[in-house]
Amino acid sequence: MSEDAAIGIHDLSFATAQFVLTHATLAAENGYDVAKYHAGIGQRSMSVPAADEDIVTMAAAAAAPVVARHGADRIRTVVFATETSVDQAKAAGIHVHSLLGLPSATRVVELKQACYAATAALQFAIGLVHRDRAQQVLVIASDVSKYELGSPGEATQGAAAVAMLVSADPALVRIEDPSGVYTADIMDFWRPNYRTTALVDGRESVSAYLQAVEGTWKDYTEQGGRALGEFGAFCYHQPFTKMAYKAHRHLLQHCGHNTGAGEIARFIGHTTTYNTEIGNSYTASMYLGLASLLDNADDLTGQAVGFLSYGSGSVAEFFAGTVVPGYRAHLRSEVHRAAIARRQDIDYAKYRELHERSFPADGADHPVERETAGPYRLAGLSGHKRIYEPR
């Protein structure tokens, strides 16, 4: 793609939750050596939403700075990617549209395919901008990962939202053609409608992910993509931080490249900084990795970044982007670091209370106590309707 025709990520902002549970606290409760988490899965803490936080409040908090910087006049589409939707019919993005005061002349949709959906949203957005380069598309990925207490997946939990403005002549990353895509019918992770927590077959999920790495790379190369040696960094979906290392090692082995620990860390180390502290944010995870890379790496100008987006079940895509000259002037590095640093540490009892909390299904009025320090909150439920408000 020529620079004149470039379309990609013009701005990127993320938000996370009010509370944090450290893995030291979790390990003490579960009777484990904390190294099981720190070294075993690469996690140090997990973001935990307050009672009045959810995917909508985090999404609005992530998107508000983007709209404040660029205005809403050119945003005619909002695509909200999530696998923890608050409603089976209404797009969560409509609540965000209202909270941000976006124009009524806007289409808003929600996309779902496990952790992959944000990449589908990005590609959808690129197609719309190709059709009309004057338009911009607001892509939001927001999720709260939740597993049963005491389950193997519990330590990987997290919560975050990433908002990206997709436009022509992007200031951060130009997204390139082609993509390598891959789908396989695998039950490695799923959540039926009657469950509030996900089910996961850990070994099957790791195997399915690595299978998808091979499948997407094969298709990407057959479509005429870049050679492996052309990339300066790689962003992977991170269900837990160590999975990114497993995935990149697998890709290197598959391509006959050096798989030394230092070589792997050189290409993905900066992408895992935020995920280590926040935990799995499902659809937001890979793009949180991009934020981490841009905020923490040395100058990436002109470098190609490989993206491996994986969603259990499974759908995956590999594509490339090139970092735009001058990108550093548009980053939100200090704000992002502050969002992680300002989380309030909680004990296991508070975490368990929040984990087990749910709304009654009687349609009565159920106000929610004020806990979040974020800009938006879930005020309550009334007549089965969620009520959101600025804090």
In the set 97, 110, 115, 270, the catalytic residue is: 115
Say whether 214 is catalytic: no
Which of 336, 274, 276 minimizes the C-alpha distance to 66? 336
d(C-alpha 139, C-alpha 330), whole Å: 17
Which residue in 83, 110, 176, 277 is the catalytic one?
83
* Residue 87, number of CB atoms within 10 A of its CB: 14
**115 part of the active site:** yes
Q: Please provide residue 19's backbone torsions phi and psi, each rounded to the nearest 5 degrees.
A: -110, 160
Verify whether residue 237 is a known catalytic residue.
yes
**Separation of alpha carbons 213 and 53, rounded Å:** 34
Q: Which one of 237, 250, 336, 355 is the catalytic residue?
A: 237
Catalogue the active-site residues.
83, 115, 237
